[in-house]
Structure 1
Amino acid sequence: MSRTTTIRGARALSSARDVLRRLYPSDGLLGSIVDRRDVPLPRGTWAIFGVAFVGFATPVIGFVELAERIRSGAKLPFDQPVMMWLQRRHSPRNTRIARAVTELGGVTAVPLFALATSAYLVSVRGSRRPAALLTVSLVGSTIINSVLKALYRRARPTFFPHIVQEESFSFPSGHAMASAALAGCTCVLAWPTRWRAAVIAGSAVYVPTIGGTRMYLGVHFPSDILAGWCVSLAWVGEVATIMWLMDRLDDAPTPMIRRRETV
């Protein structure tokens, strides 16, 4: 290789580095962490990461197990017995209750509650983080649900006539995902407050109730509900973990994430 070629290669490499620096400045997230690796992560970060990993991996494994069986056409042994048990509880009164309650996990009630909660927390706490958590979690769960429905294309159950009509595919349940995402976000936001126990207890009633109404109405298999819970639990857990880390890094004595100064 000639000396001229070597010089040209060095100049090209230097130019490429200059371009990359302009596109990805060193004060970005990754650049800060790499450049300041001597600064320790906030205390408790690895423990939170461990919990987050387990909390993410467990529901993902559960969803994969359900999805593989559904893709292969296998019948899950608990789907029909649970739905037939619920059908034996059908009555005009129970049906009216189920039709009303199921709307609390629908496309109108969940966004309205999330919007009201975000506005309240922003006005009281003066922080946009709650709104960001709710928006990313709920919008993300809706997108994920649409993608998974189109991917698996599972037909609705036909064990008995549907009490309400649904046009989309069955797996996973959109109501189960939306209600679980909303409850998960609410628990995260209430965790450092005195409302923690009440919110967790309310969520433990709200989420299964919405799932139960979908099966009672005949439009979802129990496996649809379980899959929806698994996906939302994993998604909200990861979003909350990332936002927790961002908060901790912002509050660190020597911030690892350095914001660019505006001129």
Structure 2
Amino acid sequence: MLPLPAAAPGATGKPRWWPAIPALVCSMLLAALVASAGAAHGTPFGVDEALHRWTVEHRPRWAVGVAVTVTVTGSGVPACLLAMLAGAMAVRTRRWCGALAGALALVSVQLPRIALASWLARPRPSAGEWAWSADGYAMPSGHTTTSAAVAVLLTAGVHRTVRSRARRPLLVIPALWAAAVGISRVYLGMHWPTDVLAGWLLTALWAGLLGMFLILLRRRKSGAAPSNEGEGT
């Protein structure tokens, strides 16, 4: 299981429900974006077409190679292994349980993404403009959602494990990697920019809900501790 967040200090000793705020904001933004895309019936937004056209016209071969290298790390086996590594880092006493929890956490964000993408059924840009292979619907971007979720898990693992001076830069690297994966999807011509934005918003919503769940679980455990002690006296 992923590490439970520490309760915020205060007179009551009760944890603060701070993850609810970004979760609420992201849910509203995601709902507005999905509703707008649905109302457009597959037609890309003006900003999508403009940015897509610019990237297609500015893709030197070396940059495409870099983008492909980045994008293949954002899904499939590499992403799953990174999620399992993050879980193992977070749960140091039972690393195999942590690895399993990391994989399950990744599944928990993929299920709503697949459901949302299937319901929205937004087409991708023209396949003739792709610089790499792709399949499935466009919004939300699968690579973007997956890599962002893995970045959240890696950040939690680093925060839990690393105590040296390398901690701060290591906390930043997962976010930079996830951002690069999302950008690579647009640069390679396989997603509209708002597909990537939807993936980031969905992951932020997922992370907020996951944080709320962990806080609730910690609160329940801390509340059960006194009763267990009383039974032993």
**TM-score when normalising by structure 1:** 0.72
Q: What's the CA shift string for 1:210-237, capped at 9, x where partnerless?
A: 0111011111011000001111111122
Task: Pick one of 142, 148, 172 that aligns with 2:140.
Answer: 172
Contact 1:69–1:75 at 8 Å: present in 2 too?
no
Q: Which amino acid aligns with 1:77?
A: G
SS at match of 2:46: coil
Task: Pick one of 196, 201, 208 that aligns with 1:225.
Answer: 196
SS at match of 1:84: helix
Q: What's the CA shift string for 1:48-72, capped at 9, x where partnerless?
A: x1x2111111111111111011111
Does 1:209 pair with 2:177?
no
Map 1:55-134; keep pairs closer than 5 Å: 55-73=22-40, 75-122=44-91, 124-126=92-94, 130-131=98-99, 133-134=101-102
Shift in CA distance, 253/232, structure 1 to aligned 2, threshold 3 Å: closer
Q: Which amino acid aligns with 2:177?
A: Y
The aligned residue for residue 181 of structure 1 is 149
Q: Distance in 2 between matches of 1:88 and 1:144?
A: 34
**Runs of 5+ unmatched residues, structure 1:** 1-40, 259-263
Q: Which amino acid aligns with 2:49?
A: Q
**Greater C-alpha Rg:** 1
The aligned residue for residue 8 of structure 2 is none
Instruction: Please report how far the alpha carbon of residue 134 of structure 1 lies from its aligned counterpart in structure 2 after TM superposition.
Output: 2.1
Instruction: Please report how far the alpha carbon of residue 132 of structure 1 lies from its aligned counterpart in structure 2 after TM superposition.
Output: 5.9
Q: Which amino acid aligns with 2:184?
A: T
The aligned residue for residue 158 of structure 1 is 126
Q: What's the CA shift string for 1:150-209, capped at 9, x where partnerless?
A: 100010013961112222111110001001111112223333553652233112311110
Shift in CA distance, 257/42, structure 1 to aligned 2, threshold 3 Å: farther
Shift in CA distance, 162/75, structure 1 to aligned 2, threshold 3 Å: closer
Backbone CA RMSD of aligned residues:
2.8
Contact 2:23–2:208 at 8 Å: present in 1 too?
yes
Q: Percent identity?
A: 21
Task: Return 109-118 or 52-61, whichever deviates more.
Answer: 109-118
Shift in CA distance, 227/256, structure 1 to aligned 2, threshold 3 Å: farther
Q: Distance in 1 between matches of 2:195 and 2:142?
A: 9
The aligned residue for residue 255 of structure 1 is 225
Q: Which amino acid aligns with 2:174?
A: S
Instruction: Please report how far the alpha carbon of residue 145 of structure 1 lies from its aligned counterpart in structure 2 after TM superposition.
Output: 1.5
Contact 2:139–2:198 at 8 Å: present in 1 too?
yes
How many residues end up aligned between the 2 structures?
214
Shift in CA distance, 219/149, structure 1 to aligned 2, threshold 3 Å: same
Task: Return 216-225 or 69-78, whichever deviates more.
Answer: 69-78
Instruction: Please report how far the alpha carbon of residue 127 of structure 1 lies from its aligned counterpart in structure 2 after TM superposition.
Output: 6.5
Q: What's the CA shift string for 1:95-151, capped at 9, x where partnerless?
A: 1111111011011210011223334554x3336774465234210111111111110
Instruction: Please report how far the alpha carbon of residue 76 of structure 1 lies from its aligned counterpart in structure 2 after TM superposition.
Output: 2.4
